[in-house]
Structure formats: C-alpha cells, structure tokens
Amino acid sequence: MLKKPSYLQIPGKLKIGGHVDGIFCLRCENSMALWNPATREFRPLPPYLLKLCGGDKFGFGFDSLSCDYKVVQIVEEHNYVKESWNGLAAVYSLSNDCWRNMTFNIDINSKILFNSLCSTCVNGVYYWCTAKATEVIPHDTYEKVILLVSFDMHNEVFGEIPGPDILVKSLHAGSLTLYNESLCLLVHGYDDQERPSIDIWLMNDEKLWTKVMNVIVPIPSYYDPRCRGFWGHDKVILEHKGRPILIYDTKSHEFTNLFHREEKTKRTRVSSYRESLVSIKK
C-alpha cells in the first residue's frame, strides 16, 4: 500500500491520477505534481488554467512520437441558462512545462464521464469510460450504453468510440483499467440469482471488444463488491463495503486478505508498479 513520503511537498490527502513508466501523477486540492519514487524526484506542476470542481477528470500518459509525458484535464461545466453541460479541457506538457487550453468537442449531455482505475493510456491514446441512456423499444424503458472518450496524446484531439455491444442497468456499471497491458472494461452487475457479477472485456488494436472472463463473486450483494484491479492472470482485487481489501482467486474460489482499509478511506486505487529511472527534473 502506497503511503505518502515525508519529502513530498503536497499538503493534505493525495489522489493518484495514474502512473506511467514508474512516474505517478499526484493531485491534492488545487495542486498537482509528478513523482518518481525510485529516484525520489518530485516535480510540482504549474497552476491549472481551468477552475477545478469536484467532478474534474484527469488523464496521464506518454506521447512516444514526441517523447513527452502529458496530463489532460476535463472540466464539466453546467450552463444554467441553457440547462446543458459543456466540456472544457487543458493539456500539460512536461517538455514545455506549461498548460494549454484546448477544444473539447464531445457532447457530454445525458452522459457521465468517469476517471479510470489506473492510467488507461494505450499506444499513445488515453481513454475514459462514459455511459449514455438510450430508449429500448418496444419495452419503452431506458437502458445505458457504454461509450469511451479518447484523447490522442500526440495529436491532442478528443474522440469517441463505442464500448461492447451490451446494455447495462446502471450508469456506474463500467470501469476502465488495464489487463496484460490491454485496455480492459469491467462491467459490474448481477447474475440470475442476484449474485454480484463482473464481466471482463478487452479491446484489441482494431478497437473491437472480446469478453474474456465472467467472475461470480461469492460475497453478499449488499456489500457491493467492486473489482479494482488484477493480481496476476486469474486473481482479482476486490473492494467492498466491509473493511478488508481482498484478492479473489477465480480458479480456486479462495479469498486472501490483502490489507485492511482504514475507516476514513473512501476509495482504493490499484496500480501495477515497476521502478524506472526516468528523470522528471527541470
């Protein structure tokens, strides 16, 4: 479990905005910084160009074509006159050490945009999960379709691609993470016996989706277990309304206590970390 070293110059509680090549992107209130634990290098970022609010979305990734690390920020702003939502965006370049405002051309009305469980940057493109309500005919009901918002780290343009061809009951059903360095969508729901269920989907280079696993979690549904990442190939890391963070072996169906979460901890982030000597000094 990652604890904040004393030499980090960010007061208060840290939020991890993902990590790439052993470099963590850290956030706390109105501050942001990059940190390499292996080299103990710490680099505060310049102040944001956009006004922060509680629902801001961030992405941290690497542009291999220009050998540059970048942070992208999305702010969802409500227009009370038009009763609609607008998206604003800015991108930070490590090589230039500055933020730049940019156009966010994605319609976010009737959608909810979610931060990923880790830094979901694959082949120079960062992805966020979103869901949109859609009418189901002839049942005259509304289900939710999962979509992905993308950001090309090199061209610095946003896009939108479809998720798997499925309908979900909740806007909060989908979460993005990585599995074996591939983009992975976790879809939480319940099976026919109302047992917690997790479908694991992977996206290939052609942006096509394949369901590679379905996990039935033997935990009562009122604990609302959520997958936060993977431990190897066949084990998932679970967070639930109880205290311990669990590892669940999908082959042996056995649980292992990973650690006990503090009562005041709201959310757990899981990252597969590898040390690197990449420098972030100015």
CA atoms of 91 and 104, how far apart (whole Å): 11
Q: Which CATH number fits domain 15-216: 1.10.3470, 3.30.390, 2.60.40, 2.40.128?
A: 2.40.128
Distance of CA 197 to the CA centre of its chain: 20
In order along its 282 residues, the chain shows pLDDT tens digits of 545 555 555 555 667 778 899 999 988 767 788 999 889 888 989 987 676 555 678 899 999 999 999 999 888 776 655 555 677 889 999 999 999 998 888 876 666 778 888 889 999 999 999 887 665 555 555 677 888 999 999 999 999 999 998 877 766 678 899 998 899 999 988 888 888 889 999 999 999 999 999 999 888 777 778 888 898 888 999 887 766 788 999 999 999 888 766 655 556 666 677 888 889 887
pLDDT of residue 203: 95
Question: Looking at residue 104, what is its pLDDT?
Answer: 83
Q: Which amino acid is at 109?
A: N
Q: Where are the beta strands (DSSP E) in 64-156?
A: 68-79, 84-93, 98-102, 111-114, 121-122, 125-136, 141-152
Of 110, 121, 137, the closest CA to residue 271 belongs to 121
Q: Is 104 exposed, middle or buried (0-12, 13-18, 19+ CB in 10 A)?
A: buried
Q: What is the dihedral of CA 267, 162, 185, 75, to 10 degrees?
A: -20
Residues carrying CATH 2.40.128, the chain? 15-216
pLDDT for the residue 222: 75
Going from the C-alpha of 75 to that of each of 12, 87, 102, 126, 269, the distances in angstroms are 22, 6, 12, 16, 22
